[in-house]
Chain A
């Protein structure tokens, strides 16, 4: 095997997809050089450049962290769009909770199924009436 399939994707786009003779990336425990036929490996990706070598050509991409999966015949790099840190995630979580608490402060915690059903039925009936009106006209 002289080449290995490489896919680099981030959650909002496909960054690169093609063949390579060698891939260099920065794993969470150090530099990685991945040649075709590598043992299956799963590791974190540290923010840094990812170099893809195919014969004489070489391309470099910047990835801000993520994961690398290596199979003997392919490499998948799942890149994050933003830099992630636990502390940042924590503050985002607090924000989401606060948003929920703020606007729903006076709300009871058990769901009123009959009320929900009634409200939905009303909305559906309204829609149906509109459709009926439309047919009659």
Chain B
């Protein structure tokens, strides 16, 4: 049977862990608010640019951009948005699972995959399982700067322009609510048809200044950048929410363990006293 000192040490060490996890829970809770605000701040831009893209789709434009054209797919690129830090439950793992499933599915159709990684966790994962990594962006912090993603986006778009890749997918967690984060794989290139809005499909076209090609090139690049940025910001909110829940669970678990150990401690202490007493009584009767 364990002695009292051992059990006491164990309780002390679990209490230490519990302090850390509950502190991390509080930190995650306060960061979650901030990251959610960040998610909302970026929304007007992505909504407006989506509107503009929808308008362009409804206009009878003289020019059709390569990003909108379907072509025979030989290779696809996955842009994977993960967190930089761990301790957030199954958040990243669930995302990687859906990515791997999609990649395996494409593989069966004869489409190769390559990866552009955002976040250290994705980098670590693909380092161990293999896979062609074309670009990487790490340590974006709690307030990611859109400029940090320009490079990665450009690598992907340039590969598409050169014909090295034919499809691009954006893989990230979508924030449903604090308890639920949904891993999703969304098609970026070719751009899925945007819903037509009230302007209708009448025959009108923009005046383009300067050329339509140049303008659409820039605008679609911005659109894709904004989608990726929005995904990163949203993934941040997901990370903090998942971390909060994971740390709350860990704190609760530690509490349960401590309770159990305290029971054990009392048992052990009681047993020791009983034994001592019976020894004294035994000794006295022998005399």
Contacts and interface: CB of A to CB of B under 8 A. Distances in A.
B215 A43 contact: yes
B270 to A, nearest CB: 23
A42 B209 contact: yes
Contacts of B96: 116, 120
Interface residues of A, number: 60
B258 to A, nearest CB: 11
Contact of A7 (B48, B97, B133): B48
Nearest to B92: A123
Contacts of A91: 151
B154 A76 contact: no
A42 B46 CA distance: 17
Contact of B154 (A93, A116, A134): A93
A117 B133 contact: no
A24 to B, nearest CB: 16
Contact of A97 (B55, B155, B210): B155
Contacts of B41: 12-14
Contact of A78 (B52, B97, B132): B52
B151 A43 contact: no
Given A28-B210, A67-B218, A92 B150 contact: yes
B103 A76 contact: no
A96 B118 CA distance: 10
B249 A134 contact: yes
Interface stretch (B65-73, B121-129, B172-180): B121-129
A100 B146 contact: no
Contacts, number: 191
Given A103-B136, A113-B104, A10 B158 contact: no
Interface in A81-104: 81-82, 84, 88-97, 99-100, 103-104
B208 A89 contact: no
A40 to B, nearest CB: 5
Contacts of A94: 151
A120 B93 contact: yes
B219 interface: yes
SS of A interface (majority): mixed
B31 interface: no
Contacts of B210: 28-29, 43-44
A127 B100 CA distance: 19
Interface in B46-69: 46, 48-49, 51-52, 55-56, 59
B257 interface: yes
B14 interface: no
A109 B130 contact: yes
Interface in B117-174: 117, 123, 125-138, 145-147, 150-152, 154-155, 158
B35 to A, nearest CB: 13
Task: Count chain B CB atoms within 10 A of each CB in A80, A81, A111 and give the residue with the most.
Answer: A111
Contacts of A123: 90, 93
Interface in A46-84: 66-67, 69, 71, 76, 78, 80-82, 84
Task: Count chain A CB atoms within 10 A of each CB in B59, B93, B158 and give the residue with the most.
Answer: B93
Given A11-B45, A43-B215, A112 B130 contact: yes
A11 B146 contact: yes
Interface of B: 41-42, 44-46, 48-49, 51-52, 55-56, 59, 89-90, 93, 96-97, 100, 103-104, 107, 113, 116-117, 123, 125-138, 145-147, 150-152, 154-155, 158, 199, 204-210, 215, 218-219, 222, 225-226, 229, 249, 252-253, 256-257, 260
Listed from nearest, the 9 A-B pairs whose CB atoms lie closest are A92-B151, A96-B151, A111-B131, A14-B44, A93-B154, A43-B209, A100-B136, A116-B129, A96-B135
Given A43-B210, A99-B137, 14 more contacts: A12-B41, A12-B42, A14-B41, A40-B205, A42-B207, A42-B219, A81-B145, A92-B150, A92-B151, A97-B134, A99-B136, A112-B130, A123-B90, A130-B253
